[in-house]
Chain A
Amino acid sequence: MATPAPKIRFREPQIEMAHGAGGKASRRLVEGLFAPLLFGSSQGPLGDAAHIQINGTRIAMTTDSFVVKPLRFPGGSIGELAINGTVNDLAVSGARAEAIVVTFVLEAGLPTDILEAEVRAMGQAAEDAGVMIAGGDTKVVEHGKADHMYVTTTGIGRLLSGVIISPQTVQPGDKVLLSGPIGDHGITILLARGDLDLEADLRSDTRSVFPLVQALVHQAGAGVRWMRDPTRGGVATSLNELARDSGCGIVLFEEKLPVRDSVRGACELLGLDPLHIANEGQFLAIVSSDHAESALQALRATPGGEEAVMIGEVREQPASAVLVTTLYGGSRLVDMLVGDPLPRIC
């Protein structure tokens, strides 16, 4: 019996920057072009990592590419992002990263000491995260075709026991936990570009969140319904994806959202919403209500998790949408990122 030809729903005539921003346009591209042609009809909702069964063992696998500009910024560089990004994608799918392979696309003319600095940074980040770098590949392209370097990392990991993460398990009454302040990474990059006459004492938050995920899973087990690291597109995009995939509504309490003063100031100055700004060292978790409080305490007791906070809860309404409420009874919907106010941030 012939399978029907896959239907391409992506109708746009050319690729724009927005298609890489992690928001609505990215989702249209992935769901409308890549998914029908590559993933087949059996694929469920797209997560950060794929779970594959090999001879009865469940492993997780993920890949990510890094095109950040500038390469170095307060708090890190492309090297750290490349390792932590993949470690984190595996972590939030409930897996411990075991091995990573790295590919470099290098621009002819790239000074060796710049490359060396990044490779050192990657080695250090891998050591800090406890993950092995198992191999890689290198290509060089003509000057002007790779903006110094592009890096891709692909990682595999072993799933932690007792973890069943799926948007389908999310239900009204569950709580939304966030590991720490948002917006640090995206705003740091924006300021590091030097185009705006803005300065602030800010650093990227890039780090492995695996120790925090591990503490959370250890405490709450099957009470952990879903996790995600809110990179491009920010918390708003990640939670909108969940709302869409689960059909539930997510209500966030504005006064609980952790945002550093300087991130807030920069966002106000530029007309940006911290909920749409990328993070490289935080994660969101939906936890059942009976486990939420102890899970939060477990996070706060883990080094690096001291600023974890409960920012909201899952409700039936508004279905498939994210609402932010204020202390005085006002509310607004917050949608996925549209367009791309901050290109090339990770």
Chain B
Amino acid sequence: MKFVDEFRTPELIGKAGEEIRRLADPSRHYRIMEVCGGHTHAIYRFGLKDLLPSNVELIHGPGCPVCVLPMGRIDDGLALAAQSDFIFAAFGDMMRVPGTHGSPLEYKARGMDVRIVYSPADALKLARNNPEKHVMFFAIGFETTAPSTALTLMRAKTEGLSNFSVFCNHVTIIPAIRAILDSPDMRLDGFVGPGHVSTVIGCRPYDWIAKDERKPVVVSGFEPLDILQSIVMLLRQLRKGEARVENQYKRVVPWEGNRAALRAMGEVFELRPYFEWRGLGFISQSALKIRPSYAQWDSEQRFTVPGVRVTDPKAAQCGEVLKGVLKPVQCKLFGRECTPEQPVGALMVSSEGSCAAYFNYEHRKPVTIATVAAN
């Protein structure tokens, strides 16, 4: 696969690993946060931690849109769609996320019409093909996905399609990073920046992290070589005491972002004054809602949302793991009451959640990589 396989070349990965070991000052312990859930997933899937020296630590950030969604919003979405002529449409990742009375898949087993879609455009197609039903698309995602939802809403409006609405849970990445940096428990040296969010928002939004917080940010791609090269670039800056924003993912990310995507978002969405994030609490100006001009296609403006706040089960430590304060294995429920098949929190369900990634790819691995490398 072009633009994929080259960035998985074993010899170059070995070289990058060596360069990291060479650059890492043995008297320092580096704490680097990868913000984006896709990076967390890639790090585990490719076993990249095995290649890093012990003094370069990767902390998983809150960039997993499923993981940060409070349970109350899932309950709200399911309650809305519980009407008999509704179709509840969402991405596959949402399907097993537990609400108070079950996950979307469990609701499906009890008779609700629940469909997996791979694109908001699929949800719109469902509405066109099922005129007697109302299709409610449960939208999640950061700025990577929001423009696609926006375009889909614009299309729905142009077509005058009346049996389609979006329950919008899009969130924005910068307030989440700010919340992390404001947290007293967090000491970080630098960031592996979200690669795909940046194709939309560009690299400028991270300037304040470098200028005000004095921490380097390297916007990174998702292949093993991308992530390793980004760590090399971060270590180079840290060795020289620099703090700049760099773009490692140049082949895809334009420094100024995608104007058409930002326009579409601006046309359809506005910022909510505040929104609750699982684990991070209420954050102002951190989430998107649909503008009054699109009220007819906004599930929340068109229908009544219960709006019940649901706190996480007390024993679950999703919040601290999300912020990177705790490692997944330090949560009391990890691997016991909370597993990928019977998840308590969303971090164990989503393929980008750090608990799921750790459990699926790492948890029972033998400690020494010598055993593994000797093949």
Q: Show the binding face of A for B, using Cβ within 8 Å.
A: 14-18, 24-25, 195-196, 251, 253, 261, 264-265, 268, 270-271, 315, 317-318, 321, 323, 325-335, 338-339, 341
Q: Could you tell me how many residues of chain B have their Cβ less than 8 Å away from some Cβ of chain A?
A: 39
Interface residues of B in 1-20 (CB under 8 A from A): 1, 4, 10, 13-14, 17
Q: Which residues of chain A come closer than 8 Å to B351, judged between CB atoms?
A: 271
Cβ < 8 Å to A, chain B residues 334-375: 340-341, 351, 360-366, 369, 371-373, 375
Instruction: Determine if B105 is an interface residue (Cβ-Cβ < 8 Å).
Output: yes
Q: Which of A261, A330, A333 contacts B51 (CB 8 A)?
A: A330
Instruction: Check if A339 sits within 8 Å of B96, measured CB to CB.
Output: yes
Interface residues of B in 77-123 (CB under 8 A from A): 92, 95-96, 105-106, 108-110, 118, 122
Partner of A332, one of B1, B44, B106, B371: B44
- Can you show 9 pairs from A to B with CB atoms below 8 A apart? A17-B105, A18-B105, A268-B1, A318-B366, A328-B17, A330-B50, A332-B46, A335-B360, A338-B340
Contact of A16 among B50, B106, B365 (CB under 8 A): B106
Q: Which residue of A lies closest to B118 (CB)?
A: A196
Q: Which residues on the B side are within 8 Å of A318 (C-beta)? A: 364-366
In the complex, which of the residues A196, A268, A315, A328 contacts B13, with contact meaning CB atoms closer than 8 Å?
A328
B23-55 interface code vs A (CB 8 A; 1 in, 0 out): 000000000000000000000111110110000
Q: Which of B46, B341, B363 contacts A330 (CB 8 A)?
A: B46
The number of inter-chain residue pairs (CB within 8 angstroms) is: 97
Asked whether any CB of chain A lies closer than 8 Å to the CB of B324, the reply is: no
Are B47 and A326 neighbours in the complex by a CB distance under 8 Å? yes
Contact A333:B362 (CB < 8 A) given known A16-B106, A328-B10: yes
Give the interface centre of B4, B46, B360, B371 by most chain A CB atoms within 10 Å. Answer: B371
Which chain A residue shows the least CB distance to B359? A335
Residues of B within 8 Å of A329, CB to CB, are 14, 17, 47, 50-51, 369, 372-373
Whether, in the assembled complex, B328 has its beta carbon less than 8 Å from a beta carbon of chain A, the answer is no
A331-B364 contact given A251-B375, A339-B341, CB 8 Å threshold: no
Q: Please give, as numbers and ranges, the residues of chain A lying within 8 Å of B1 by CB-CB distance.
A: 261, 264-265, 268
What residues of A have a CB within 8 angstroms of the CB of B118 in the complex? 196, 270
* Chain B residues whose C-beta falls within 8 Å of the C-beta of A334 in the assembled complex: 360-361
Q: Are B372 and A325 in contact (CB under 8 A)?
A: yes
Contact indicator A330/B47 (Cβ below 8 Å): yes
Q: B residues within 8 A CB of A15?
A: 109
Our pick among A195, A315, A317, A338 for the contact of B341 (Cβ within 8 Å) is A338
Contact of A333 with B14 in the complex, beta carbons under 8 Å = no
Instruction: Select from chain A the residue with minimum beta-carbon distance to B358.
Output: A333
B45 touches A323 (CB 8 A): no
Docked-complex contact A14 and B46, CB < 8 angstroms: no
With A16-B106, A327-B10, A329-B14: A271-B92 Cβ-Cβ less than 8 Å? yes
Contact present for A328 and B360 (CB under 8 Å): no
Is B224 engaged at the interface, CB distance under 8 Å to the other chain?
yes
Name the A residues within 8 Å of B46 (CB-CB): 326, 330, 332
Minimum Cβ distance to chain B for residue A286 (Å) = 17
- Contact between B13 and A333, CB atoms less than 8 A apart: no
Docked pose: A321 CA to B48 CA in angstroms: 20
Kindly report which residue of chain A lies nearest to residue B340, judged by CB atoms: A338
Task: Give complex CA distance A327, B374 in Å.
Answer: 10
Establish whether residues A331 and B341, one from each chain, have CB atoms under 8 Å apart when the complex forms. no
> Which of A196, A329, A339 has the most chain B CB atoms closer than 10 A to its own CB?
A329
B216 CB, min distance to chain A CBs, angstroms: 25
Nearest CB of B to A232, in Å: 16
Q: Which residue of A lies closest to B49 (CB)?
A: A330
Question: How far apart sit A329 and B372, CA to CA, in the bound complex (Å)?
Answer: 7
CB distance from B343 to the nearest CB of A (A): 10
A271 to B93, CA, bound (A): 10
Q: Please pick, from A16, A268, A323, A326, the residue contacting B4 in the complex, using a CB distance under 8 A.
A: A268
Q: Which single residue of chain B is at the shortest CB-CB distance from A198?
A: B118
CB distance B105 to A328 under 8 Å? no
CB within 8 A of A333: which of B48, B105, B365?
A: B365
The smallest C-beta distance from A268 to any residue of chain B, in angstroms, reads 7
* Residue numbers in A under 8 Å from B375 (CB-CB): 251, 253, 325
Query: Which residues from A are CB-within-8-Å of B105?
Result: 16-18, 339
- In the complex, which residues of chain B have a beta carbon less than 8 angstroms from the beta carbon of A270? 118
In the assembled complex, the Cα of A14 lies from the Cα of B122 at a distance in Å of 30
Cα separation A17 to B365 with both chains bound (whole Å): 30
Least CB distance, A199 to chain B, in whole angstroms: 14
CA distance A21 to B326 in the complex (A): 34
Give 4 closest A-B pairs by Cβ, nearest first: A330-B47, A327-B10, A328-B13, A332-B361
- The answer for the CA separation of A61 and B365 in the assembled complex, in Å, is 37
Complex CA gap A18/B343 in Å reads 14
Residues of A within 8 A of B362 (CB): 332-333
CA distance A270 to B363 in the complex (A): 25
Task: For A317, give its contact among B92, B108, B366, B373 (CB under 8 Å).
Answer: B366
Interface centre among A271, A325, A326 (most CB of B within 10 A): A326
Tell me, rounded to whole Å, the shortest Cβ–Cβ distance linking B361 to chain A: 4
CB < 8 Å neighbour of B45 from A264, A332, A341: A332
- Kindly provide the distance from the CB of B346 to the nearest chain A CB, expressed in whole angstroms: 14
Supplied contacts A333-B365, A334-B361, 13 more A-B pairs, CB within 8 Å: A14-B106, A264-B1, A271-B351, A315-B371, A318-B365, A323-B372, A325-B373, A328-B10, A328-B224, A330-B13, A331-B47, A333-B361, A335-B340
CA distance A15 to B110 in the complex (A): 10
**Chain B 227-262 interface mask (CB, 8 Å, partner A; 1/0):** 000000000000000000000000000000000000
Chain A residues with CB under 8 Å of B341's CB are: 18, 24-25, 338-339
Give the docked Cα–Cα distance between A315 and B364 (Å). 15
B13 with A331: CB separation less than 8 A = no
Known: A335-B360, A341-B92. A14 touches B109 (CB 8 A): yes
Nearest chain-B residue to A269 (Cβ)? B118
B106 touches A317 (CB 8 A): no
Using CB atoms, name the residue of chain A closest to B106: A16
CB distance from A211 to the nearest CB of B (A): 31
Which residues of B have CB within 8 Å of A265? Answer: 1
Question: Bound state CA distance, A123 and B369, in angstroms?
Answer: 53
A25 to B339, CA, bound (A): 12
Q: How far is the CB of A138 from chain B (nearest CB, A)?
A: 29
Chain B hits for A321, CB < 8 A: 364
Closest Cβ–Cβ distance, residue A239 to chain B (whole Å): 14
